[in-house]
């Protein structure tokens, strides 16, 4: 559904621009007091001082919404999640609480493989219902666009099932959240290919990519480039093939060890490199020079009890940083936007203003959508969050608490909490 909407008395807080904001530009927000925002057929057509038209009937064909001076921000863009899966790994979490670590659990047959077994067993409808319930929760926290990855099938049928769940949720006329699908067939080496990672990459290149690209089931291709998973060379081979099929490129890079994923992202001019807990200084410079967005996922560091990515240093070096939740059943079983804000500011040295840019315009840039999403400007999609306050700093001051009261998607008002 797409609507005409006029919002009055909004305290507009937004980054500005139609491409990623880099370095210190991330901290610059435009603020307008008691502003009017007009949305026509789902697209922003005016932002500025009240023009008084509300008094002479000009807006008869618009829904009217009074923001009463509270903060209106662009809808949040969560540009890295794995929200389509089945099963849970609460048992593993308990093992970690007793001292085991993520990689050793993975090597003993748990981890991603455990979620793959659960996801393969379950039907399309079951997966879809579960994914839909995650979307509702995300929407209540202000997310209006989410990226979702496959990668819990690692076989033809299940990978396609995950992608088709996302396609069908995206086709819902009344959707509150837009979905950008990513093919992450290279998330782990499936049991059937144990010890034959190269053969598995061949299968992804020869059998999966042509079908997925041909049926427009994914916009991006991603790979878990990590010690013991896929090497830099295997990642390069897969991503180079994906690009030939017109897919955008993403990497899980330097998450657990410093393998050179960031350098590969720069070499391939990937749209984003994500995680980067152990990125090298050279990797940071090369990503900046190649215009790769650094997508940081503080919930993962928090939940794995790993050191946080060097957000402050990356921004000071001039990189464009995006923030996302990484919602998944293993390393970040949370889609909490409020906690993401708080951790980024408390532990990665980001300012509130930078964190807002990272979850809006730069999140959009990490999905190649900075021209359409991520700021409140004429020509962008009418996606907004309304806070319960006129002070945007409360987004991080209230740790882990939700200050979003209303979400507006393409001009349609959806009540929040």
| Nearest approach, Cβ of residue 274 and ligand NIG (Å) | 7
Q: Does 300 bind ligand NIG (CB under 6 A)?
A: yes
Q: Specify the stretch interacting with Fe ion by CB under 5 A; choose among 170-178, 287-295, 326-334, 360-368.
A: 326-334
The stretch among 165-173, 328-336, 367-375, 379-387 that binds ligand NIG (CB under 6 A) is 328-336
For the record, the structure tokens of 130 come out as 């579960």
DSSP 8-state symbol, 319: -
Nearest-approach distance from CB 251 to Fe ion, in angstroms: 10
Task: Give the closest residue to 8 by CA, choosing from 56, 48, 60, 57.
Answer: 48
Closest CB to Fe ion among residues 327, 395: 327
| Shortest Å distance, C-beta 115 to ligand NIG | 5
CB of 152 to Fe ion, least distance (A): 11
Smallest separation (angstroms) from ligand NIG to the CB of 392: 29
Site for ligand NIG in 108-127 (CB under 6 A): 111-112, 115
Beta bridge partners of 39: 5, 44
d(CA 407, CA 385): 5
Residue list 122-161, contact with ligand NIG (CB under 6 A)? none
Near ligand NIG in 65-94, by CB under 6 A: 82
The only residue of 78, 86, 326, 383 in contact with ligand NIG, by rule CB under 6 A: 326
Q: 188: number of CA atoms within 13 Å, CB side?
A: 21
The footprint of Fe ion on this chain (CB under 5 A) covers a number of residues equal to 1
Per CB under 6 A, does 330 bind ligand NIG?
yes
Q: Which stretch binds Fe ion (CB under 5 A): 226-234, 240-248, 288-296, 324-332?
A: 324-332
Angstrom distance (rounded) from CA 144 to CA 380: 13
How buried is 280 (Cβ within 10 angstroms: 0-12 exposed, 13-18 middle, 19+ buried)?
middle
| Residue 223 interface partner, choices Fe ion, ligand NIG, none, CB cut-off 5-8 Å depending on type | none
329 sits near ligand NIG (criterion: CB under 6 A): yes
**Distance in angstroms (rounded) separating the CA atoms of residues 34 and 347:** 34
Task: State which residue has the least CB distance to Fe ion.
Answer: 326
Q: What angle do CA 274, 131, 384 make, to 5 degrees?
A: 70
Residues 6+ apart with CB under 8 A from 183: 149, 150, 159, 163, 208, 209, 212, 217, 218, 220, 221, 222, 242, 247
CA dihedral 282, 288, 291, 292 (to 10 degrees): 60
Residue closer to ligand NIG (CB basis): 72 or 166: 166
Three-state SS for 168-183 is HHHCCCCCCCEEEEEE
User: How many residues sit in the footprint of ligand NIG (CB under 6 A)?
Assistant: 13
Distance, CA of 280 to chain centre: 23
Residue 342 tokens, joined = 């708080």
383 binds, among Fe ion, ligand NIG, none (CB under 5 to 8 A by kind): none
Answer yes or no whether residue 326 interacts with Fe ion by CB under 5 A: yes
Q: By CB under 6 A, what part of segment 171-200 binds ligand NIG? A: none
DSSP-assigned beta bridge partners for residue 275? 253
If the CB atoms of residues 327 and 412 are measured against Fe ion, the closer one turns out to be 327
Indicate whether 252 belongs to the interface with ligand NIG (CB under 6 A): yes
Q: How far apart are CA 126 and CA 133, in angstroms?
A: 11
- Taking CB under 6 A as the rule, does residue 272 contact ligand NIG? no
Rounded Cα–Cα distance for residues 132 and 143 (Å)? 13
Binding site for Fe ion (CB under 5 A): 326
Contacting positions for ligand NIG (CB under 6 A): 82, 111-112, 115, 224, 252, 255, 300, 326, 328-331
């Amino acid at each position: 559904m797409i609507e005409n909407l006029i919002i009055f008395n909004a305290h507009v807080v937004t980054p500005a621009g139609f491409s990623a904001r880099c370095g210190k530009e991330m901290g610059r927000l435009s603020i307008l007091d008691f502003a009017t925002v007009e949305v026509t057929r789902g697209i922003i057509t005016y932002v500025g001082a009240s023009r008084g038209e509300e008094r002479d009937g000009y807006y008869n064909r618009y829904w009217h919404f009074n923001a009463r001076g509270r903060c209106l921000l662009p809808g949040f863009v969560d540009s890295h999640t794995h929200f389509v899966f089945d099963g849970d790994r609460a048992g593993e979490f308990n093992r970690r609480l007793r001292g085991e670590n993520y990689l050793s659990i993975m090597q003993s047959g748990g981890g991603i493989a455990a979620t793959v077994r659960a996801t393969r067993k379950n039907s399309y409808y079951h997966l879809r219902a579960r994914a839909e319930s995650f979307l509702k929760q995300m929407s209540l926290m202000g997310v209006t666009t989410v990226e979702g990855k496959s990668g819990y099938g690692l076989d033809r049928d299940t990978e396609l099932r995950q992608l088709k769940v996302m396609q069908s949720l995206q086709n819902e006329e009344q959707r509150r959240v837009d979905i950008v699908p990513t093919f992450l067939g290279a998330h782990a080496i499936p049991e059937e290919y144990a010890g034959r990672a190269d053969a598995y990459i061949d299968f992804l290149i020869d059998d999966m990519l042509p079908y997925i690209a041909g049926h427009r089931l994914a916009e991006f291709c991603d790979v878990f480039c990590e010690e013991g998973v896929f090497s830099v060379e295997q990642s390069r081979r897969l991503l180079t093939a994906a690009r030939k099929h017109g897919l955008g490129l993403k990497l899980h890079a330097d998450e657990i060890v410093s393998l050179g994923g960031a350098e590969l992202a720069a070499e391939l001019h990937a749209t984003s490199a994500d995680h980067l807990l152990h990125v090298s200084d050279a990797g940071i410079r090369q990503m900046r020079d190649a215009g790769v967005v650094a997508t940081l996922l503080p919930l993962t560091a928090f939940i794995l009890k790993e050191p946080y990515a060097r957000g402050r240093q990356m921004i000071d070096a001039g990189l464009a940083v995006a923030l996302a939740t990484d919602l998944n059943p293993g390393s970040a079983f949370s889609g909490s936007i409020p906690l993401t804000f708080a951790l980024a500011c408390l532990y990665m040295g980001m300012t509130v203003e930078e964190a807002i840019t990272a979850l809006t315009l730069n999140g959009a840039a990490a999905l190649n959508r900075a021209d359409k999403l991520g700021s409140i400007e004429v020509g962008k999609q009418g996606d907004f969050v309304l806070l319960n306050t006129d002070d945007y700093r409360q987004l991080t001051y209230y740790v882990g608490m939700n200050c979003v009261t209303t979400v507006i998607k393409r001009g349609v008002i959806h009540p929040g909490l």
